[in-house]
A and B are shown apart, each in its own frame.
Chain A
Amino acid sequence: MSIRRIFIPVATIVVFLLLWEWLVWVNQWPNYKMASPTDIWPAFWKFKHLFLQYGWQTLWRTIAGLAIAIVVGTFLGLIMGMSRSVREALYPLLVGFNAIPKATVVPILALMLVGEHNINTILMAFMISFFPIAVSVSIGLSTLEPEYRDILKALGASRFMIFRKIALPKTLPEFFGALKVAVTLAFIGTNLVEIIEPHGRGLGHLFDSAKINSDYPLMFAVLIALAFMGILLYYVVVILEQIFAGWAERSPT
């Protein structure tokens, strides 16, 4: 971790906040049009215990949904990557499923699992985020050059051995690329349920309460908190990627 890798992103965020503050100030925007960072901070501080409590609820349900998405997405990617027929069979279904606006699924889920708020939310986070994982794992596996397989096969390696020694590590960069997309999608999924079907939990609920009470700075504060958690989780993925797939990154020289 060089200074550059921490300093540059932090500096960018500071510049962004200053610019935001300045825009609101210059245009004399009222709070309901656009709250400024200096309005948002007090709103956050006032409800900081709620942010912690609800933020945690949103976070753990997002991570749980993401975990299911990783398991199911990787499994689907595996079977699609290994067999052409499975790939051809599943793609239309998956694409169709992915094309459904997830907001429309929220009431369906709510009816299907009445009162099971945690499960509802986790399911949505999973449904919205498994697709990129499945697709990229399957592409990673199906584009494995046949010579790679032959090198091990000629030595009498089993299918499992070929998978473990070659297919799995070779797919890791694609997997982590998809995981970065899936992380942010999972947050959208969790909040979709929390906002559309408020059941007194999560940051989505806090957002909804703020809306009802016309507390505009609080609404913005929730958005910032969500963005912050998204960034946090994203960097967790980046660190995991560097540990497990750091070899894929070429030195710039």
Chain B
Amino acid sequence: MAAGHSPGSHSESPLIQLKSVSHTFSTATGPLPVLDGLEISIAEGQFTAVVGPSGCGKSTLTRLIAGLMKPDTGEVWLHGEKVVSPRSTVGMAFQNPVLLEWRSILKNVMLPLEIVPNKLSVKEREERARYLLALVGLEGFEEKRPSELSGGMRQRASLCRSLVHKPDVLILDEPFGALDAFTREDLWQTMHTLREEEPFTALLITHDLRESIFLADEVVVLSGRPAKSQYVLSVDMPGKRTLDDLYTPQASDMLATLREQIKIAQGHGKAGGHSA
């Protein structure tokens, strides 16, 4: 493993733990190793961002934690239990908001509550969904169809859906990637609001280094394919974060460090030459 401080800084039973996870896809052109002995641990309540060169297996990582697939070797632990299948304690949001077009925004947000076992009455489910929609600024849009909303609003609704069943872990796979810069910054602030009101543990996959330091407590840089954890940056931005915090010397230093690490990771990918 390359330089940086040790990734295992949270010793007493982290909420999410990946133990030397390796995975290889078999493709038409031969085996494609994507993860190679990846170690990540995320403490309860911690927000971790994962950055890395494109195609380095970041999405595979989300699917592993969600229990949607199993790694070839290594283990994924969640809440002190080994993940072998999907579990209802996970909330997911993707770059594509994947809202169901035939449902109102409110009914879309309520969807997980129809699947995850819970004791809530229909009225309580609705209240919960309305509460979250109000938090992200979608009050008054509950009865609209997804097609009537802008991209940013749809993504807000998608975030509400991922949180409605109070998941232990929020998995965000580039949820802001397809939005314009201003909408994206708005949503970053919405994420902070949500985190204040609804504390959660999160893993965010992103390509945006500014996004990673603005949102996360810890940024993990993955090496090129096959990916391992190459560097871990602790984001030191105490107090309530505002967009201005991204323009301080400390933020510039962090961004420079991350950019440097990404360069190294890209070099690793080329030198690795694993394409079969």
A156 touches B96 (CB 8 A): no
Compute how far the CA of A172 lies from the CA of B102 in the bound complex, rounded to whole angstroms. 10
Within 8 A of B (CB), among A167-224: 169-170, 172
| Residues of chain A within 8 A of B67, CB atoms compared | 154
| Residues of chain B within 8 A of A79, CB atoms compared | none
Q: How many residues of A contact B (CB 8 A)?
A: 21
Interface assignment of A157: CB less than 8 Å from any CB of chain B: yes
Tally of A-B Cβ pairs under 8 angstroms: 62
A147 touches B94 (CB 8 A): yes
B102 touches A154 (CB 8 A): no
A156 touches B87 (CB 8 A): yes
Interface assignment of B115: CB less than 8 Å from any CB of chain A: yes
A155 touches B86 (CB 8 A): yes
A154 touches B98 (CB 8 A): no
Q: How far is the CB of B105 from chain A (nearest CB, A)?
A: 12
DSSP class of B's interface residues: helix, strand, loop or mixed?
loop
Given that A155-B88, A155-B116 are contacting pairs, would A247 and B111 also be in contact in the complex, using a CB cutoff of 8 Å?
no
Within 8 A of A (CB), among B75-115: 85-88, 90, 92, 94, 96, 98, 100-103, 111-112, 114-115
Interface 0/1 of A138-176, CB less than 8 Å to B: 000000010110111111110001000110011010000
DSSP class of A's interface residues: helix, strand, loop or mixed?
helix
Q: How many residues of B contact A (CB 8 A)?
A: 27
B102 touches A145 (CB 8 A): no
Given that A156-B116, A157-B115 are contacting pairs, would A166 and B68 also be in contact in the complex, using a CB cutoff of 8 Å?
no
Task: Identify B68's interface contact among A145, A150, A169, CB under 8 A.
Answer: A150
Q: How far is the CB of B12 from chain A (nearest CB, A)?
A: 27
Given that A145-B98, A147-B96 are contacting pairs, would A250 and B147 also be in contact in the complex, using a CB cutoff of 8 Å?
yes
B86 touches A156 (CB 8 A): yes
Interface assignment of A248: CB less than 8 Å from any CB of chain B: yes
Within 8 A of A (CB), among B44-73: 63, 66-68
Interface 0/1 of A235-253, CB less than 8 Å to B: 0000000000101101000
Of B85, B87, B100, most A-chain CB atoms within 10 Å: B100
Given that A145-B96, A150-B66, A154-B68 are contacting pairs, would A247 and B115 also be in contact in the complex, using a CB cutoff of 8 Å?
no
| The 9 A-B residue pairs with the shortest CB-CB distance in the complex, in nearest-first order | A247-B102, A154-B66, A155-B115, A147-B98, A156-B88, A157-B115, A156-B86, A169-B102, A147-B94
Which residues of B pack against A, CB within 8 Å? 63, 66-68, 85-88, 90, 92, 94, 96, 98, 100-103, 111-112, 114-116, 145, 147, 161, 165, 171
